[in-house]
Amino acid sequence: MQFSSPVSIQWLSEFIGAKPIGNTLGNATGINEIHKVEKGDLVFVDHPKYYDKCINSAADFIIINKETNCPEGKALLIVENPFEAYCKIVNHFRPFQPSSSLISSSAKIGEGSFIYPNAFIGNNVIIGKNCIIHPNVSIMDYCVIGDNVIIQAGTSIGSDAFYYNTKKDREMWYKKMPSCGRVVIEDNVEIGANCTIDRGVSHDTVIGAGTKFDNLIHIGHDTTVGKNCLFAGNVIVGGCTTIKDGVVVWGGVIINKTLTIGENAVLLARTGVGGDLEGNKTYFGAPAQEAGIAKRELVWVKRIPLLWEKVMGK
């Protein structure tokens, strides 16, 4: 989430009760989580396993629960509970805003766009020109829809990220991280019926221009889908995943979180993806491998009974 204007580290330190070290005169331009941090961001870390990764990331300001060496130009904000401090900042700058009307008065809808009855358009949503939003679509707060976008009935855009802090040293293990990111759908995208696209937990979930979705597709938080991709029905994509331009994903494919699929890759139906895949290749199977290899393996598996008979002399 980008702040509407830079926020001083001195103010943030006072707001969360932190001890600042390092560049205490700096200004944070946004707040983010570790997978999506950018220069100027404020990020939190509360586990020694991730101290180095977080301190040496692109983020300039780190909320942390231990006093340690601070790289030049950065600042540490030392508090007892970084997660609670992070949540306090998010809830201050992106508080819950109830909306009692189907189309919020703060929403902006472009010329030529048509919103069917019973669609819900939340606070500060932006919809471009010549879009068609079908019945029972929900577009939640702060989401951005480009021009010439079609969203079919029953789809949810901008539901909360499935993202929880899972530290087990407290009574409530699964503590929700508030979602302050957005969903950004670029121009000429078509989204099928009953799809769910989660907002970023702190950054944006992005669907690239010209991409087409079938029905019953789920896209996890902070995922980027490239331009001119094609997704068939029942595809599931985990959070913080990068799918580059021109990728084709056929029905029932499951794609794990925090991985990258290269340009123009093709994933055949029911493929399971657990790691990065190169572009310009076709994949099949679970775990995914090049389709030619996977199909040859299936042929040999079918021959096992015959080979067994030959070995045993039957």
The answer to whether residue 203 is catalytic is no
| pLDDT, tens only, 25-74 | 999 999 998 888 899 999 999 888 889 999 999 999 999 998 888 899 99
Q: Is 237 helix (H, G, I), strand (E, B) or coil?
A: strand
Tell me the pTM: 0.92
Residues 117 and 259 in one domain: yes
Question: Which of the four pLDDT bands, split at 50, 70 and 90, describes residue 314?
Answer: low
Assess if residue 101 is contained within a domain. no
Question: Which of the four pLDDT bands, split at 50, 70 and 90, describes residue 212?
Answer: very high
More confident residue, 170 or 299: 299
Last residue of a domain, one of 93, 125, 153: 93
Q: What is the rounded distance in angstroms from the CA atom of residue 244 to the CA atom of residue 262?
A: 5
Residues 144 and 266 in one domain: yes
Adjacency order of strands within the sheet including 266-267: 114-115, 132-133, 150-151, 190-191, 212-213, 230-231, 248-249, 266-267, 282-284, 289-290
pLDDT surpasses 80 at 167: no
- Going by C-alpha positions, the residue among 36, 39, 81 that lies closest to residue 63 is 81
Residues 130 and 244 in one domain: yes
Q: Please report, for residues 112, 130, 183, 253, 294, the alpha-carbon distance to residue 109 in angstroms, rounded to integers and kept in the order given.
A: 9, 9, 16, 34, 48
Assess if residue 310 is contained within a domain. no
Q: Among residues 134, 203, 218, 221, which one is catalytic?
A: 221
pLDDT surpasses 80 at 172: no
Residues 196 and 164 in one domain: yes
What pLDDT does residue 302 have? 82
Residues 187 and 260 in one domain: yes
Instruction: Determine the straight-line distance between the first and last CA of the chain, rounded to whole angstroms.
Output: 68
Tell me which residue range forms the domain holding 19.
2-93
Return the CATH number at 14: 3.40.1390.10
Residues 238 and 168 in one domain: yes
Residues 149 and 225 in one domain: yes
pLDDT surpasses 80 at 169: no
Assess if residue 312 is contained within a domain. no
Last residue of a domain, one of 31, 64, 93: 93
pLDDT surpasses 70 at 89: yes
Strand partners, 290: 283
Last residue of a domain, one of 93, 121, 139: 93
Residues 58 and 160 in one domain: no
Return the CATH number at 256: 2.160.10.10
Residues 122 and 270 in one domain: yes
* Proportion of the chain above pLDDT 70, given as a percent: 98
Assess if residue 257 is contained within a domain. yes
Task: List CB contacts of 84: < 8 A, sequence separation 6 or more.
Answer: none
What pLDDT does residue 294 have? 81
| pLDDT, tens only, 8-25 | 999 999 999 999 999 999
Q: What is the rounded distance in angstroms from the CA atom of residue 20 to the CA atom of residue 67?
A: 10
Assess if residue 306 is contained within a domain. no
Total of domains in the chain: 2
What pLDDT does residue 170 have? 66
Neighbours of 178 (CB within 10 A): 18
Instruction: Render the burial of 46-84: b for 16+ CB within 10 Å, e for the rest.
Output: beeeebeebbebebbbbbbbeeeebeeebbbbbbebbbe
Residues 242 and 155 in one domain: yes
Assess if residue 171 is contained within a domain. yes
Instruction: Render the burial of 237-251: b for 16+ CB within 10 Å, e for the rest.
Output: bbbbbbbbbbbbbbb
pLDDT surpasses 80 at 239: yes
Phi-psi region of 14 (alpha: psi -120 to 50; beta: other; left: phi over 0): alpha
| pLDDT, tens only, 105-150 | 999 999 999 999 999 999 999 999 999 999 999 999 999 999 999 9
Assess if residue 258 is contained within a domain. yes
Residues 113 and 207 in one domain: yes
Residues 69 and 133 in one domain: no
What pLDDT does residue 256 have? 97
Mean pLDDT of 251-264: 97
Q: What is the rounded distance in angstroms from the CA atom of residue 227 to the CA atom of residue 34?
A: 25
Q: State the average pLDDT for the chain.
A: 94
Which amino acid, residue 71? Answer: P
Assess if residue 161 is contained within a domain. yes
